[in-house]
Homo-oligomer: A and B are copies of this chain.
Amino acid sequence: MKTVAIVVLSGGLDSSTCAYMAKKSGLNIIPVHFNYGQKTLKKELKCFNDICDSLNLPHKDRYEIDLPFFTDVGCSSLTDTNMIVPTSGINSSVPSTYVPFRNGIFLSIASAVAIKHSATQIHIGIVQEDGSGYPDCTKEFITKQQECINEGVKPSQKISLITPLLNKTKKDITLIAIKLKVPIDKTWSCYKNELVACGLCDSCRLRLDGFKKAGLNDSIEYITKVLDT
A residues engaging B (CB < 8 A)?
A: 63, 65-70, 72-75, 94, 98-105, 108-109, 111-113, 115-116, 135-136, 138, 140-141, 144-145, 147-149, 151-155
Contacts and interface: CB of A to CB of B under 8 A. Distances in A.
Nearest to A36: B112
11 contacts: A63-B69, A63-B72, A69-B112, A75-B116, A101-B108, A104-B152, A105-B109, A135-B153, A144-B151, A144-B152, A148-B148
A3 B72 CA distance: 21
A72 B109 CA distance: 12
Nearest to A107: B108
**How many monomers of this protein are in the complex?**
2
B111 A135 contact: no
B141 A148 contact: yes
A65 B153 CA distance: 22
A166 to B, nearest CB: 14
B152 A70 contact: no
B144 A103 contact: no
